[in-house]
Chains A and B, each alone.
Chain A
Amino acid sequence: GQNIDQPTEMTATEGAIVQINCTYQTSGFNGLFWYQQHAGEAPTFLSYNVLDGLEEKGRFSSFLSRSKGYSYLLLKELQMKDSASYLCAVRDGDYKLSFGAGTTVTVRA
């Protein structure tokens, strides 16, 4: 089976930076996705990594190391609206997505 681990909860202050780590062990690898999900709503796509390195998109960046089975999502200049759950998902060798349980980020004033 697939194994995707990420921390359950993180808390940070408005304007700060938070890094959400994700480690994975999957049968095959065809890309890693990060989604944001506000409570009771659908996940929305944030980023996609398939090659090693950093992908930057505004205040959000995502990093991938395939050899280490590791990714992180970096949220800069945190805003109250960033309070949400962040889901790490890996596309395996069969091109199916497997999701981690999600990291709930709470931004405090």
Chain B
Amino acid sequence: DGGITQSPKYLFRKEGQNVTLSCEQNLNHDAMYWYRQDPGQGLRLIYYSQIVNDFQKGDIAEGYSVSREKKESFPLTVTSAQKNPTAFYLCASSPGTSGSDTQYFGPGTRLTVL
């Protein structure tokens, strides 16, 4: 089955710890994205990557880091510098970044920092 997987579905961490969220896709998509969703707010873009070994900051990149060493994988690290890390994190991918290229989302990881 082709798709996007994120693990784990729920993650709990203590304040001050870094945590890495995984995102894998087998759709052969070039572009991948990380969003954060908070109650009552739209999805906000954290980082995106249009091609392997390259990525750009989104609107709220502070306190986060990413890597894109393989086409299939785009892990997100939430560092201790992120002030309010508790949120629902969504990974997405698309064939490319042209106008009609639809983004498809993974099931999400709900991170709770205690």
Binding site for B on A (CB under 8 A): 4, 8, 30-31, 33, 40-45, 48, 50, 87, 89, 91, 95-102
Contacts and interface: CB of A to CB of B under 8 A. Distances in A.
A87 B42 contact: yes
A91 B92 CA distance: 15
A97 B107 contact: no
A43 B33 CA distance: 14
Majority-rule SS of B interface residues: loop
Nearest to B108: A42
Majority-rule SS of A interface residues: loop
A42 B42 contact: no
B96 to A, nearest CB: 9
Given A97-B33, A98-B45, 9 more contacts: A8-B40, A41-B108, A42-B105, A42-B108, A89-B43, A96-B45, A97-B103, A99-B35, A101-B41
